[in-house]
Amino acid sequence: MLSDRIVYFNGDYVALDQATVHLMSHSFSRGSAIFEVLGLHETNDGPAIFRLNEHIQRFFKSACLLGMEIPLGEDDLYIAVIETVKRNTCKKGLIKIMGYYPQIALGVLPPAKAVEISIFVVDPIQDLGDVVFPLAKNVSVCISKWRKLDPGTVPIEAKVAANYLNGMIAQAEAKSRGFDNSIMLDTKGLIAEGPTESVFLVKDGQLMTPSLNSVLQSITRKSLLQLASVVGVEAIEQPLLPDLLFEAQEIFLSGTPTKVLPVRQIENRVLEKTPGTVTHKLSRLVKSIVSGSEERFKEWLFYIK
């Protein structure tokens, strides 16, 4: 159960209900917390974390972009993540690393540069009834009226809590219109990404995804682009017009909880085959990798012994 989980809390390991900060803390009232969400996968050799090193590196990059000071080195954070997984005896689920200002603050600027660190491990099905990340086989999506944050306004490559209000209102709009999810355009009217997912299209056998100008440097996105050649597909990153959403033979979303999530419907258009051939190939390969049965990508998994 969620209440039984152990949390790494600024150097200590405490019960979940003890991992708290004041309601007037800067990161709660101003949204200045940074975070990473990592996949924990069950394999024949024990639990394994997907691309742990790259998530740790991106966490430090987010801190750098926001001028935060992390009280741990990268190696120390590795150890803290591993120890938190061990103490929770979790075989699969999600890991969330958070960096935040716990001090009470009313001003826009945080009272200090140093942040505190917490690490959580949860099994969404066991702990949350899977209400957060339902294991849908495919989804319907709309094109949101809300535009993706412009990189000229905030550092969009930082995984900071305040940036995700953008995705929250896009997701809420989709739900109000009867769709499962949404795709946002950027301020130039080009395809950007979902509320928390990257967007991929397949047209005439070619895999396409928006270039990094206005989207997060997603680790899952990067992985899928690397895997495209393995399944015999050419992959390109470039600006994509929204018309392609109505021309593509396949569309799927990607993120940490659901590595490949096929789209069955975009607005009023129902795709003929879901998942399509390329989507199916990539999904099957990813499942093989995270289960530990794909030798070519063993280095992507960090095993918890």
Q: Hey, how many other C-beta atoms are within 10 angstroms of the C-beta on 144?
A: 25
* Greater pLDDT, 253 or 132: 253
Per-residue confidence band for 126, with pLDDT thresholds at 50, 70 and 90: confident
Question: Which amino acid, one-letter code, is at 230?
Answer: V
pLDDT at 130 over 70: no
Q: Where are the domains of the chain?
A: 2-127, 139-290
Amino acid at 103: Q
Task: Please state, rounded to an integer, the average pLDDT across all residues of the chain.
Answer: 94
- Predicted pLDDT of residue 131: 58
Taking only the tens place, the pLDDT of each residue in 162-180 is 999 999 999 999 999 999 9
Which CATH number applies to 139-290: 1.20.140.10, 3.40.1410.10, 1.10.1040.10, 3.20.10.10? 3.20.10.10
* Tally of CA atoms within 13 A in the half-sphere of 178 that contains its CB: 3
pLDDT of 16 higher than 90: yes
pLDDT over 80 at 134, yes or no: no
* Angle at which helices 52-65 and 219-228 cross, to 10°: 130
Give CA separation, 16 vs 11, 51, 98, 124, in Å. 14, 26, 14, 15
List the beta bridge partners of residue 236.
208
The phi and psi torsions of 100 (rounded to 5 degrees) equal -155, 160
Name the pTM for this structure. 0.95
> Over 80: is that where the pLDDT of 136 sits?
no
- Give the pairing of strands 34-43 and 46-50: antiparallel
Is 2-127 assigned to CATH 2.40.50.140?
no
The SS3 assignment for 208 reads strand
Of the pLDDT bands very low, low, confident and very high (cuts 50, 70, 90), residue 213 is confident
* C-alpha radius of gyration, the chain, whole number: 19
